[in-house]
Amino acid sequence: MTPSIRKATTDDAGALAALAAVTFPLACPPSSSPQDIAAHLANTLSERHFQAYLADPDVTILVIDASGELRGYSLLVNRPAADRDVVSVLEILPSVELSKCYVHPEHHGLGAAADLMHASLKAAADAGGRGAWLGVNSQNARAIRFYEKSGFRRVGTKSFRLGSTVEHDFVLERAVP
């Protein structure tokens, strides 16, 4: 059966945390320590955290659902950016943050991520955004290429702390359709 994209519900929190545990490490640079990755998962991507995201009226989570199994998700935050490095470079306002965009590795390269992006940009528009922005690790070449293919362009940089390491993210934005 073809996977479908739908809004997540509170029942998805546990499956989202399990999916995040598989996909978050793929976005980390090779130098990231397993301890830092595990701490980030425990501190921001546990079932409890997804329950809180799902209860937040400013947050939308979309999932790729393949016969009841979650194979990807995106998380949008419809709040003005707080990071000064981001605020200073965004040009298309109001802008919705595409805070997370993760697809299970078995579905990479098959178009599932493009479908998820399409739905995420529509959700950003529905939330009132004129633009969408995201941060992506500067070493995450696959994701950067994917975002460029999806119409994003690089407008700046910001820092991202993973445990004891400060990582450098590119800030990308695009107009929403």
Ligand X SMILES: CC(C)(COP(=O)(O)OP(=O)(O)OC[C@H]1O[C@@H](n2cnc3c(N)ncnc32)[C@H](O)[C@@H]1OP(=O)(O)O)[C@@H](O)C(=O)NCCC(=O)NCCS
Q: Which residues bind ligand X (CB under 6 A)?
A: 23, 26-27, 101-103, 108-109, 113-114, 136, 140-143, 145-146, 149
Q: Which is nearer to ligand X, 128 or 149 (CB)?
A: 149
**CA 162 to each of CA 35, 83, 100, 110, 126: distance values in angstroms, whole numbers, following the listed order:** 10, 16, 15, 30, 32
We find the least distance from the C-beta atom of residue 175 to ligand X, in angstroms, to be 19
Q: Which is nearer to ligand X, 149 or 168 (CB)?
A: 149
d(CA 11, CA 124): 23
We find the least distance from the C-beta atom of residue 51 to ligand X, in angstroms, to be 22
d(CA 73, CA 115): 11
Q: Which is nearer to ligand X, 13 or 102 (CB)?
A: 102
CA R_g for the chain:
15
Q: Which is nearer to ligand X, 55 or 166 (CB)?
A: 166
The one-letter amino acid code at 165 reads T
We find the least distance from the C-beta atom of residue 114 to ligand X, in angstroms, to be 6
Judge contact between 68 and 14, C-beta under 8 A: no
Phi, psi angles (nearest 5°) of residue 83: -65, 125
We find the least distance from the C-beta atom of residue 107 to ligand X, in angstroms, to be 7
